[in-house]
Amino acid sequence: MWAVAAVFLIPIAVAVVSEAPAEFPHSVVYKSFSTALSECAEYFQVPNCTLDRYIQDSYPNNDDVKRLIRCVLINLNGWSDEAGVRENVLGNFFQPLTDDKCYSNRTKECIKRAYEDLEQDDHYSRAYESFYCYYTQHGNLVQSDQFIPSEPYELKQLVLTGLLMANLPKQVLVKYSKGDILNDSYFPSILLLFCVRGGYYSIYSGIQLKNIYTQLGYPELLSPEVQQCCGKVSQSLRNADHATHLIKMMKKCLKYNLTMIAALFEKGAKALIGAKSSPAYKEEQSSVRSGKFYNRVFVD
């Protein structure tokens, strides 16, 4: 499924302290291509001298490099064997030349031609050729850390953890499990919790449109219209708390994305209600309350 222009910055009053506060990482992952490559080299026990040679030779087409490149793309959540390359993710790691207006189409055509000679299940070659088309056609490889989107199972866990942290009354969870979410009084605070932990909103710099785009892949998220809408909401809610600011902005400018998030919370509430109703959960909670759970650790 989310870097943002200065127009979206929400003014934060600072008294006495002159340095900007450091942001916590929360559950957000930023990673560079070179870091992902070094990690994969470690997984497959590729010596540094060999890895350096591969880089100097511009990632030559051989089996070891193909394996490394597929690992890197998966590491960056920019590839799946079923769907192929995720343009909204891999594109962040390449910087097109300023006057190059054709890089996107050129990259797509390159990948299309490369796939013509490859078997559908040749995942190493398909991942490698996808990367190499970006490497040769899209732009210069970016060295800085980029936002890594969450996989579906990670989004699910992000939602469940948020619901657990919020400690909602059971009747509210029941409402959520039926889809009655967007107008609930608890939801703005839970939405803020989810978006801050996921990297889609910052207490210090506001809505993170590029991260949301990287997560979801909808180009309109980076459109001037959405940016202007978010900017206007920021200006009109200058003194509002962050939860109010976020829910108003999403309802006004990112309604479709908000609906998608609500659907995640509906599924999460159903899962949480089901888990808490299970005999295993009740037995575990009973053991914890009685102290048997802790004593059992030492007995076993």
Q: Interior CA angle at 172 toward 167 and 175, to 5°?
A: 145
Q: Average pLDDT in the 87-113 region? A: 96
Q: Which of 124, 147, 170 is the last residue of a domain?
A: 147
| 183 φ, ψ (degrees, to nearest 5) | -100, 10
Q: Please give the pLDDT value at position 46.
A: 98
Global pTM value: 0.82
Shared domain for 139 and 186, answered yes or no, is no
**95 and 36 co-located in one domain:** yes
DSSP track, 71-89: HHHHHTT-EETTTEE-HHH
**Boundary of a domain, candidates 123, 147, 171:** 147
Beta-bridge mates of residue 85:
79
Number of domains observed in the structure of the chain: 2
Asked whether residue 271 is domain-assigned, the answer is yes
Which two tokens mark 99?
């006057």
Q: Identify whether 277 is part of a domain.
A: yes
Shared domain check, 161 and 143: no
CATH number at residue 243: 1.10.238
Cα–Cα dist 127/57, whole Å = 18
My answer on whether 162 and 204 are in the same domain is: yes
User: Average pLDDT of 91-118?
Assistant: 96
**Is residue 228 predicted with pLDDT exceeding 60?**
yes
Residue 242 has pLDDT above 60, yes or no: yes
Are residues 131 and 190 located together in one domain of the fold?
no
Q: Does 9 map to a domain?
A: no
Same domain, 271 and 168: yes
Residue 14 belongs to some domain of the structure: no
Backbone angles phi, psi at 288, to 5 degrees: -65, -45
Comparing CA positions, the residue from 100, 76, 102 lying closest to residue 89 is 76
Is the same domain home to 85 and 175? no
Structure confidence at residue 274 (pLDDT): 87
- For the residues 253-277, what does the mean pLDDT come to? 91
82 and 195 assigned to the same domain: no
Please tell me the predicted confidence (pLDDT) of residue 282: 52
* Contact indicator for 66, 125 with CB cutoff of 8 Å: yes
Provide the residue range defining the domain that includes 104: 30-147
Q: Is the pLDDT of residue 244 over 70?
A: yes
Residue 3 has pLDDT above 50, yes or no: no
pLDDT in tens, 195-222: 999 999 999 999 999 999 999 999 999 9
Query: Are 36 and 78 contained in the same domain?
Result: yes
99/179 same-domain check: no
- Whether residue 176 is predicted with pLDDT greater than 80 in this model: the reply is yes
Q: Across residues 29-41, what is the average pLDDT?
A: 98
Query: Averaged over 222-235, what is the pLDDT?
Result: 95
**Residues 119 and 164 occupy one common structural domain:** no
pLDDT for the residue 24: 85
pLDDT of residue 94: 98
91, 116, 147 - which closes a domain: 147
Burial 131-159 (b: 16+ CB within 10 A, else e): bbbbbebbbebeeeebbbbbeeeebeebb
Q: What CATH number does the domain containing 43 carry?
A: 1.10.238.20
Say what the pLDDT of residue 227 is.
Answer: 95
With cut-offs at 50, 70 and 90, classify the pLDDT of residue 286.
Answer: low
pLDDT band at 294 (very low <50, low <70, confident <90, very high): very low
Does residue 269 share a domain with residue 162? Answer: yes
On whether residue 21 sits in a domain, the answer given is no
Per the model's pLDDT, the better-predicted residue between 297 and 98 turns out to be 98
What's the mean pLDDT when you consider all of the chain? Answer: 88
